[in-house]
Amino acid sequence: MTPSTSQPVRVRFAPSPTGYLHVGGLRTALYNYLFAKHHNGKFLLRIEDTDQSRKVEGAVENLISTLGWAGIQYDEGIDRPGAFGPYVQSERLDLYRRHAEQLIERGKAYYCFCSPERLEEIRKRQMTAKLPTSYDRHCRNLPKAQVESLLAKGESHVVRMKVPLEGEVSFDDVIRGTVTIGCEVLDDQVLLKSDGFPTYHLAVVVDDHLMKISHVIRGEEWLPSTPKHVLLFRALGWEPPVFAHLPLLLNPDKSKLSKRQGDVAVEEYRAKGYLREALVNFVALLGWNPGDEREILSLDELVGEFSLERVGKSGAVFNVEKLNWLNFEHLRRKSDKEVLSMLRDYLSTSEFSSTHLDDAYLLKVISAMRDRVSFVREFVENSPYFFRPPRGYDPTVVKKRWKPETSELLSRLIGEFSRLENPGKEEYEAALHRTAEASQVGNGQLIHAVRLAVSGMGAGPGLYDILFLLGREETIRRIAMAIEKLK
Ligand code: GLU
């Protein structure tokens, strides 16, 4: 829904700090961010920590750093104060209590004194009778005097929503169209718990209103809660925001995306060396497309193109192969200098952290390998021979390429190479051709043997590129070593 100019766009990402950032959460954050930026609006980060039992130490810091890594910047939040703070729900308890009281005064909520044991009892009874479990509204119509005396005695209580007994709730969802639900299926939801903390439902409505949220963009799992929220907005005399519920994320077998079938934490993808550009691009396409064939998009391009109208209803399949392809494409688009700095970071955590490798050398490795890697770590994993001599020789390649006469041929080649002064690729090539001709063998036989000798492998970038990169001394040393080990 294109927002009207009268109401500025303000959207929020409202995670609960229960651990890592799920890729689904990243998508929600991203769509909110893109929508805000596209419409010159504001994007807020709100921490929903009203369920203190689920709170995980360090989760907020982790969320902030992961969003920062992804390049999703918020305008207001815990560490970016704005006019609508605090942005952490546990620091807003007073507001929720005041609004719960207001709802009671308006006859839209009531005190409930039922004990946990009684509630459990009803639940069991309903389950045995195969009925949907819901509160039996025992305290809904307690006489005022009784309520006052129980409160005065300090009796433990919650505040529940007084859901209309009949009628319908209806709201428009940008993605799903008009959603209508009969009130009779809605439970008298707890709004304020006995410890004075609000439930999610009360807190989200109060905050979305007070923080002037124009559009609520969130996962489909919240769709069933929305009718209750709409009732609450109206009960408080407020206009609900525009809703947009994003499609589910699915495993390739169409089941709901789960940890069992692969990684779901953004941190895991980050640790595996995925580029932020690739992950953000990938996540953007989970349920949205730009309306044409383009698949590789930068964050700025996504901001320019994004619209909620192009978000689909059906579940979006999380396909890691596509993510890997996007990583390859985004890595290819980086300048050599950027790749160099990433490669240096990677090397500093690898077994080569104390190997001296100068920039000029690494840049040559990068240009030889860059069309062959999807991840920075693959510069090392796919061509370790640029960083150290081979530790062994691929046995299948040895079997195919190392003939009884190979040692002799390579010794001759060492003789030719030793005579070269400051050789470039062409000089290595000419020397190899001379040796092959003099020995009456095809060039190919020597080429394969040399590749095996210097790299330990049967494939890689052009042989003369490798030799030029390694330099004459190292090339000769490695060939001699292979003769020694393989003859
Ligand atoms: N706190 C909810 C969550 O953890 C937010 C739901 C919403 O955006 O309203 O996902």
For residue 354, count other CB atoms closer than 10 A to its CB: 7
Is-contact 458 448, C-beta < 8 A?
A: yes
Tokens representing residue 166 in the block: 């009949």
Which pLDDT score, from 0 to 100, does residue 53 have? 87
Pocket test for ligand 1, best of 222, 242, 245, 264 (most atoms within 8 A of CB): 222
235 Cα to the center of ligand 1, angstroms: 21
State the DSSP code for 248. P
Pocket test for ligand 1, best of 16, 43, 88, 202 (most atoms within 8 A of CB): 16
Q: How far from 58 is each of 19, 65, 89, CA to CA, in Å?
A: 8, 11, 16
Which pLDDT score, from 0 to 100, does residue 487 have? 82
pLDDT tens, position by position, 397-432: 999 999 999 999 999 999 999 999 999 999 999 999
Residue 5: which pLDDT band, with cuts at 50, 70 and 90?
very low
205 Cα to the center of ligand 1, angstroms: 11
pLDDT tens, position by position, 131-168: 999 999 999 999 999 999 999 999 999 999 999 999 99
Which pLDDT score, from 0 to 100, does residue 479 have? 98
Tokens representing residue 222 in the block: 């919240």
In the numeric block, the tokens 């500093």 are attached to 348
> Taking 90 as the threshold, does the pLDDT of residue 22 lie above it?
yes
Give kind and range of the element (H or E) at residue 448. helix 443-455
Looking only at the bridges linking them, the beta strands covering 190-192 and 109-112 are unpaired
Give CA angle at 232 (229, 235), nearest 5°.
Answer: 155
What is the CATH T-level fold of the domain 389-487, as seen in this structure?
Arc Repressor Mutant, subunit A (1.10.10)
| For the CA of 13, the nearest atom of ligand 1 | 8
| Alpha carbon distance 455, 459 (integer Å) | 9
**Mean pLDDT over the full length of the chain:** 96
> Taking 70 as the threshold, does the pLDDT of residue 1 lie above it?
no
- Of all protein residues, whose CA lies closest to atom 5 belonging to ligand 1? 14
Which pLDDT score, from 0 to 100, does residue 481 have? 98
Chain centroid to CA 24: 7
Share of the chain above pLDDT 90, in %: 94
Q: Which of 124, 259, 313, 337 is catalytic?
A: 259
Q: State the helix-helix crossing angle for 406-418 and 472-486, rounded to 10 degrees.
A: 160
Pocket test for ligand 1, best of 10, 204, 208, 243 (most atoms within 8 A of CB): 204
| For the CA of 204, the nearest atom of ligand 1 | 9
388 Cα to the center of ligand 1, angstroms: 50
| For the CA of 25, the nearest atom of ligand 1 | 10
Which pLDDT score, from 0 to 100, does residue 424 have? 96
- One-letter amino acid at 9 equals V
pLDDT tens, position by position, 263-293: 899 999 999 999 999 999 999 999 999 999 9
pLDDT tens, position by position, 302-359: 999 999 999 999 999 999 999 999 999 999 999 999 999 999 999 999 999 999 999 9
15 Cα to the center of ligand 1, angstroms: 5
Which pLDDT score, from 0 to 100, does residue 2 have? 53
H helical segments located in 114-199 = 116-128, 144-152
Give kind and range of the element (H or E) at residue 30. helix 23-38
414 Cα to the center of ligand 1, angstroms: 68
65 Cα to the center of ligand 1, angstroms: 19
CATH number of 1-79+247-333: 3.40.50.620
Is-contact 456 392, C-beta < 8 A?
A: yes
Which pLDDT score, from 0 to 100, does residue 429 have? 98
216 Cα to the center of ligand 1, angstroms: 10
Which pLDDT score, from 0 to 100, does residue 3 have? 52
Average pLDDT value for residue range 191-207: 97
- Of all protein residues, whose CA lies closest to atom 2 belonging to ligand 1? 15
- Of all protein residues, whose CA lies closest to atom 3 belonging to ligand 1? 15
| For the CA of 14, the nearest atom of ligand 1 | 5
| For the CA of 28, the nearest atom of ligand 1 | 8
377: nearest Cα among 274, 268, 263, 262 = 274
Average pLDDT value for residue range 382-396: 97
For residue 230, count other CB atoms closer than 10 A to its CB: 19
- Of all protein residues, whose CA lies closest to atom 10 belonging to ligand 1? 15
| For the CA of 15, the nearest atom of ligand 1 | 4
What torsion, rounded to 10 degrees, do the Cα atoms 191, 198, 223, 300 define? Answer: 160
pLDDT tens, position by position, 201-219: 999 999 999 999 999 999 9
pLDDT tens, position by position, 101-122: 999 999 999 999 999 999 999 9
For residue 463, count other CB atoms closer than 10 A to its CB: 19
Q: State the helix-helix crossing angle for 463-470 and 472-486, rounded to 10 degrees.
A: 110
Is-contact 450 479, C-beta < 8 A?
A: yes
Q: Which residues approach ligand 1 with their CB closer than 6 A?
A: 14-16, 48, 204, 218, 222
> Taking 80 as the threshold, does the pLDDT of residue 259 lie above it?
no
Is 144 catalytic? The answer is no
